[in-house]
Amino acid sequence: MPTPAPRTRRALLLGVPAVLFLLITWQVVGHGPLLRADARLSRELVHPDGFAQFLSDLGDVQVAVPVLVVAAGYALWRGRSAGRARWWLPPLAAAVLMALLPALVVPLKDWTARPGTPAVPPAVGYFPSGHTATAAVAYGSAALLLLPWLRSRAARRTVLVLCAALVLGVSYGLVRHGYHWPLDVLASWCLSAVLLTALCALPGFSRNSRRTSSGTPSSSSGPS
């Protein structure tokens, strides 16, 4: 079976999570039947403990954003040293996306006004999960910034696995501790997938843009 063209893959990575996000949001706003399954799953998973708290804390802004800052600084240094065209664009775009994330999540929380689980004090505004979105966008953007500068496939794979482990760890901790319903986390995965796909589509993230300002290829080669 032939590999889909890059544009087709990108369309799928944008379209499928976007549709899932809309469907989940519709269920939450309309109190659909999916919420009953969500509540049952939450009851099975909730068991607050110190490890769940530790994992959920990895989605704090104070933890995730510094990781992105370090990755952005490294990408700026490597891009400028290599004479890469628009070397400043990927780190800047990642920083802007991170800064704008609350402007997307907070209005959704206010609009949906979803109550929390029985494990947290009575309140609303739990959908989607802000900690999950913060972790996914911060760690995901950091990985996207680092990948072009990693020469070996093993190093690139390690970064991707570490990124996935952090996001999954935060997600598990939030649900395990009862801070969020599973659908809150799943919706943030979908939203973050759309945002990261859009970020990756920028010219500066393409391996073809890794050129000097004069238009000649850089001496460093990007990932295959």
Domain ranges of the chain: 49-204
At residue 128, does pLDDT exceed 80? Answer: yes
At residue 23, does pLDDT exceed 90? Answer: yes
CA angle 153, 159, 165 (to 5 degrees): 130
Mean pLDDT of 125-150: 96
pLDDT averaged over every residue in the chain: 89
CA neighbours within 13 Å on the CB side: how many for 83? 10
pTM of the model: 0.88
CA neighbours within 13 Å on the CB side: how many for 162? 15
Taking the C-alpha atoms of residue 46 and residue 182, their distance in angstroms, rounded to an integer, is 10
Burial class (CB in 10 A: 0-12, 13-18, 19+), 94: buried
Report pLDDT for 111.
97
